[in-house]
Amino acid sequence: MKRCVIVGGAGIADYDFVRSYLNENDYIVYCDSGLKHMDELGRGPDLIVGDFDSHENPNLEVETIVLPTIKNDTDTVFAVKEALGRGFEDFLLLGVVGARLDHTLGNVSILLMLDTMGKSAKIVDDFSEMEIVSGRTAEVDDFWSYFSLLNISGEAEDITVSEAKYELQDAEIECDWQYGVSNEPLPGQTAKIQVGKGRLLLIRVRPET
């Protein structure tokens, strides 16, 4: 099935980098002020969702879900739930990490929600890509300058990291001691990460340009 790409209203500066993640057959959902990215991303919407408190409704001939301004879910969370209801299994979130720390943390939590449901999801911003590691092996090749492993869900044990500057074996990372920041894949190698129990947020950090 197609991948669902959800575009939020956080800032995007390096459109070339972010645009490189898009596939021709992606299903694109713009959330409210995420519409400001439409021209630079070069992709029209398949669905528009929002309460339009931060961007006017463009009234395009595209399916549009107008939400109330007072609600439990943010526009982005609603868009994810709507896409889940339509059967999507794979998600890419763009424009969801930025100056608003509250929105950033809330949107990163979407990765946890989707992981709990057994879905595949990734967040991409100007500097990095993020995903949850749980019950599988994740890799970081040496294109990436750094990678960090953060416990944002309360439990992460039996952690193994190999082919990296700082290796781990049967380790535990706790929420109040985040020592998994700024590791590096070895030159010419691909770092491998396993989490035997619980889950971690993996952030791959791109080289500075």
On whether both 40 and 110 belong to a single domain, the answer is: yes
Confidence of residue 192 (pLDDT cuts 50, 70, 90): very high
On whether both 183 and 101 belong to a single domain, the answer is: no
Percent of the chain surpassing pLDDT 70: 100
Report the predicted TM-score, pTM, of the whole model to 2 decimal places.
Answer: 0.94
Tokens, residue 34: 């995420």
Query: Is 209's pLDDT higher than 80?
Result: no
pLDDT value at position 99?
86
CB–CB of 165/115 below 8 Å? Answer: no
Range of the domain at 64: 4-126
| Residue 53 burial (C-beta neighbours within 10 Å; 0-12, 13-18, 19+) | exposed
What's the CATH code of the domain at 27? 3.40.50.10240
On whether both 120 and 141 belong to a single domain, the answer is: no
On whether both 171 and 85 belong to a single domain, the answer is: no
Strands, sheet with 146-150, edge to edge from the N-terminal-most edge strand: 64-66, 47-50, 27-31, 4-7, 90-94, 120-124, 128-133, 200-205, 146-150
Query: Is 1's pLDDT higher than 80?
Result: no
Q: What would the pLDDT profile of 104-129 be if each residue is shown by its tens digit?
A: 999 999 999 999 999 999 999 999 99
On whether both 75 and 118 belong to a single domain, the answer is: yes
